[in-house]
C-alpha cells in the first residue's frame, strides 16, 4: 500500500470518527447493545411471500453495499448466512433519518420493517427502525480493491471472513466436516475423549516437539506431537472404542500442506486391525464426499478426484517397484536412485533411504484415493508385524491428490517387542529427547487388547473437500511470521 492510500485511509477513518461523535450528540450509542429477536437474513429472504404485504421482519448484519440517493438510501447487509437489501426512506424513519445518513460501509446495524420488493424485483426490508450496533471506524477493504492480498487475508482473517463470502463458506464447511466425523464415529460406538496436550515425554510419532516449562514443578514439558500413547492407555483401561479430535504441535516446516499447529482425529478400536480401519476411513470420506457430489467426484487443484468405491489398495513394495523401477530389497539400486535424485543417502539407514525415495517417486502419483499398505517394519515401531513376514508391518497410509490423509496400524500389544522397538527408535536422538515412555510399556504389561488405530488430518481433509489449495485456507488463524517493522526516519 503506497503513501497516498495510507493517507486516504486516515482521512476516511477521521471522517468516521467524526460521524461517531455526531451520533453520540444525537443520543445514539455508536456501539449499540443487545438486539434480540433477529432472524437470519437467508431465512428472511426465503420467507418472502408476494401475496402478503404485511410481513414484519427483524434482522441484523454488516453493511457491504451503500447507495445514498438523497431521500432514499439502499443498503445491502450481510450476516453469516447471506445478504439482503434494506431500503431507508426519510418518510418512514422520521427523526431517525439524521442518524441513518451517517451510516457507512462496514457498520453493523439492526433493522426492523416490512418485507417487500423494489420495482426491479429485489427483495427488500423497508426499514421502520434502524439501530446502530457498531460503528466501524476503519473502512472495509472493498473501498479499494477488496481484501485480495493473500498474506493479509491470513493475518486479518476477521476482515477476510466478512469481506469474502466464499471464505465464510469454507469455514462453515469445515465445521460441518468435523460434525459429520463425530456423528459417524459416535454412531459406531466410539466415545470421544480428551487426553493431555502437555507431555513429560514426547512420543507417539517421529517429530520435533515444541518445548515449554512448568514453573511450579520446575520441569520441561512437550506440546504433544500425537495423542497415541495416551489413547492406547485407555484401551488398556477397558475403553474399547475411543477417538479424539484435537490439536497436535510439531516444530517443523511450514508449507501449503503443513502448519506447526494442526487438527487430527485419532481413534482406536479394540479387537480390530488395519483392514477395519481401511473400511472405516473409506466409508467416512465417501459419506463426506456424497454430501457434496452425487457423482462422487470433486475438483482439487485443477484435477477431478474420483472417490467412487472401492478404493485402490496397493502394497508399499509393489508401488515402489512400479514407480522407482527396482525392488526396495535391491538396496544398491535404491541408493543409486537416491544419489540420482540428490538425496544425501550416505549417512542414512537403508530403510530410511528406501522411504526417502518412495516419498519422492511415488506419493505425487497417487491422485485418486489409494491405500498404501504393508510398510517396512523398521519404519513402524508401534505397529504389529505380519505373522508370515516380520519385516513387514500391518500399516497403511491413505493418499489422495498426492497428500497423506490418514495413517493406521494394527497396533502392537506385545510389551517386550514394543520396549525393544522404542529403544531402537531412540538411538541417535539428541539426549534430551532420548527418553523412553516407561509408563506406556508398563501399561502394555497389564494387557492391551488387539486393536486397530488410525489418525487422519482434519485440515488436509478440509482442503480436499473445499478445493482449497493451501492448508492456511482452512485454518482460521495460521501461524505467520511477524511483520517486519520498517525503521522510522528521524525528523529533520
Confidence of residue 238 (pLDDT cuts 50, 70, 90): very high
**Residue 294: DSSP 8-state:** T
Q: Which residues pair with 110 in a beta bridge?
A: 60, 131
pLDDT computed for residue 491 by the predictor: 39
* Mean pLDDT of all residues in 150-164: 89
Cα separation of 280 and 266, whole Å?
12
Cβ 245 vs Cβ 263: under 8 Å: yes
pLDDT computed for residue 36 by the predictor: 97
Mean pLDDT rounded to a whole number for the chain: 92
Cα separation of 103 and 91, whole Å?
17
Confidence of residue 253 (pLDDT cuts 50, 70, 90): confident
* Mean pLDDT of all residues in 425-430: 68
- CA 162 remoteness from chain centre: 18
pLDDT computed for residue 376 by the predictor: 94
Q: Provide the whole-model pTM.
A: 0.90
* Mean pLDDT of all residues in 292-296: 96
* Mean pLDDT of all residues in 324-342: 94
Confidence of residue 140 (pLDDT cuts 50, 70, 90): confident
432 pLDDT more than 70: no
pLDDT computed for residue 5 by the predictor: 56
Share of the chain above pLDDT 90, in %: 80
Confidence of residue 145 (pLDDT cuts 50, 70, 90): very low
445 pLDDT more than 50: yes
C-alpha cell at 74: 439502499
* Mean pLDDT of all residues in 345-363: 93
Amino acid at each position: 500500500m503506497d503513501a497516498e492510500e495510507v493517507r486516504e485511509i486516515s482521512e476516511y477513518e477521521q471522517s468516521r470518527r467524526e460521524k461517531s461523535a455526531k451520533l453520540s450528540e444525537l443520543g445514539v450509542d455508536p456501539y449499540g447493545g443487545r438486539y434480540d429477536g433477529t432472524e437470519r437474513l437467508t431465512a428472511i429472504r426465503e420467507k418472502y411471500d408476494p401475496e402478503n404485504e404485511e410481513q414484519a421482519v427483524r434482522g441484523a448484519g454488516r453493511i457491504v453495499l451503500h447507495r445514498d440517493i438523497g431521500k432514499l438510501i439502499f443498503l445491502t447487509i450481510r450476516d453469516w448466512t447471506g445478504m439482503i437489501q434494506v431500503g431507508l426512506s426519510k418518510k418512514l424513519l422520521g427523526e431517525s433519518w439524521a442518524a441513518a445518513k451517517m451510516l457507512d460501509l462496514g457498520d453493523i446495524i439492526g433493522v426492523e420493517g416490512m418485507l417487500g420488493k423494489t420495482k426491479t424485483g429485489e427483495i427488500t426490508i423497508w426499514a421502520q427502525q434502524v439501530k446502530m450496533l457498531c460503528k466501524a471506524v476503519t473502512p472495509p477493504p472493498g473501498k479499494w480493491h477488496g481484501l485480495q492480498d493473500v498474506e493479509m487475508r491470513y493475518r486479518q482473517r476477521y476482515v477476510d471472513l466478512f469481506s469474502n463470502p466464499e471464505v465464510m463458506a469454507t469455514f462453515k464447511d469445515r465445521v460441518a466436516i468435523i460434525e459429520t466425523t463425530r456423528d459417524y464415529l459416535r454412531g459406531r460406538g466410539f466415545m470421544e475423549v480428551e487426553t493431555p496436550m502437555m507431555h513429560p515425554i514426547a512420543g507417539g510419532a517421529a517429530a520435533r516437539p515444541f518445548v515449554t516449562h512448568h514453573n511450579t514443578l520446575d520441569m520441561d514439558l512437550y506440546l504433544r506431537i500425537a495423542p497415541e500413547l495416551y489413547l492406547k492407555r485407555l484401551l488398556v483401561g477397558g475403553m474399547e472404542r475411543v477417538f479424539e479430535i484435537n490439536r497436535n504441535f510439531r516444530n517443523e516446516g511450514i508449507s501449503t500442506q503443513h502448519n506447526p499447529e494442526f487438527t487430527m482425529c485419532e481413534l482406536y478400536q479394540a479387537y480390530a486391525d488395519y483392514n477395519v480401519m481401511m473400511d472405516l476411513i473409506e466409508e467416512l470420506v465417501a459419506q463426506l464426499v456424497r454430501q457434496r457430489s452425487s457423482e462422487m467426484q470433486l475438483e482439487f487443484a485443477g484435477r477431478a478426484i474420483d472417490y467412487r468405491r472401492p478404493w485402490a489398495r496397493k502394497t508399499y513394495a509393489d508401488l515402489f517397484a512400479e514407480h522407482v523401477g527396482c525392488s526396495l530389497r535391491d538396496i544398491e539400486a535404491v541408493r543409486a536412485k537416491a544419489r540420482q535424485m540428490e538425496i544425501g543417502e550416505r549417512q542414512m539407514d537403508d530403510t530410511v533411504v528406501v522411504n526417502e525415495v518412495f516419498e519422492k517417486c511415488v506419493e505425487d502419483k497417487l491422485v485418486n484415493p489409494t491405500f498404501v499398505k504393508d510398510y517396512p517394519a523398521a519404519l513402524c515401531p508401534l505397529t504389529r508385524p505380519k505373522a508370515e513376514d516380520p519385516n513387514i508391518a500391518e500399516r497403511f497410509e491413505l493418499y489422495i491428490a498426492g497428500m497423506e490423509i490418514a495413517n493406521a496400524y494394527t497396533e502392537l500389544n506385545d510389551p517386550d517387542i514394543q520396549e525393544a522397538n522404542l529403544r531402537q527408535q531412540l538411538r541417535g536422538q539428541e539426549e534430551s529427547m532420548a527418553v523412553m515412555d516407561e509408563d506406556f510399556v508398563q501399561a502394555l504389561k497389564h494387557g492391551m487388547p488387539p486393536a486397530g488405530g488410525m489418525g487422519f488430518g482434519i485440515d488436509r481433509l478440509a482442503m480436499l473437500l473445499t478445493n482449497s489449495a493451501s492448508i492456511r485456507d482452512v485454518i482460521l488463524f495460521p501461524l505467520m511470521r511477524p511483520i517486519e517493522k520498517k525503521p522510522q526516519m528521524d525528523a529533520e
